[in-house]
Chains A and B, each alone.
Chain A
């Protein structure tokens, strides 16, 4: 089955700096890659997603890039703010089995 690895497990940045979280996946048939943000004790919330026919997608301060050949994708957050502090999960799925396989999460802390 699919295996998703996520790095780093923790990331601390200064407010205004950029943050990058990287994930690799094992199943070359995976074609959908969402990113979820989870604040302490709350539900995971989708912040951005990308499909395999696209190499990059941007939404204001966040962007995701996908390299299908290398089977990795990354989340980029620019101009970080304290409210960006949370745990971020990457995930992957494929047509026919849309249940998501999640990475282990990255705890991002933005220092004011």
Chain B
């Protein structure tokens, strides 16, 4: 069984540019999470989806971040415009439902110059 897939794995952009990350969860997993992981720290939740509905986006900086999960499968996280402080690893995770184990993708490492 394939795990959570994310792309790209690495991204380097200049500040004020837009960037987008893509996540394909494990097949059949209804719940999808986006986490932000700064260097040397634990992941922090940005947004959680139950199917196509964003049920917890309280930590998402909505002035520059947006996310979507069309058809309740793949998800895209966008930053526009990117700032220097957005440099981090963006992790996607999925679970069968909100009660089950979360499985993480390999992450997208973003560097904003």
Contacts and interface: CB of A to CB of B under 8 A. Distances in A.
Interface of A: 4, 6, 34, 36, 42-46, 49, 89, 91, 95, 97-105
B103 A46 contact: yes
B46 to A, nearest CB: 9
B91 A43 contact: yes
- Interface size classification for chain B: 20 to 34
Contacts of B43: 44, 89, 100, 102
Given A34-B101, A43-B91, A102 B44 contact: yes
- Pairs of residues from A and B, 6 with the lowest C-beta to C-beta distance, nearest first: A102-B42, A99-B45, A98-B98, A43-B104, A44-B104, A43-B106
Interface in B26-57: 31, 33, 40-45, 48, 56
A56 to B, nearest CB: 19
A49 B48 contact: no
A98 B42 contact: no
Contacts, number: 50
A111 B69 CA distance: 44
A35 B104 CA distance: 13
Query: What does DSSP make chain B's interface, helix, strand, loop or mixed?
Result: loop
Contact of B101 (A4, A42, A49): A49
Given A97-B56, A98-B31, A98-B95, A43 B42 contact: no
Nearest to B95: A98
B99 A98 contact: yes
Nearest to B48: A99
Most chain B beta-carbon contacts within 10 A, residue among A6, A99, A103: A99
Contacts of B107: 43
Contacts of B45: 99-101
Nearest to A99: B45
B102 interface: yes
Given A43-B104, A45-B104, A102-B44, 9 more contacts: A6-B42, A43-B105, A43-B106, A91-B42, A95-B99, A98-B98, A98-B102, A100-B102, A104-B40
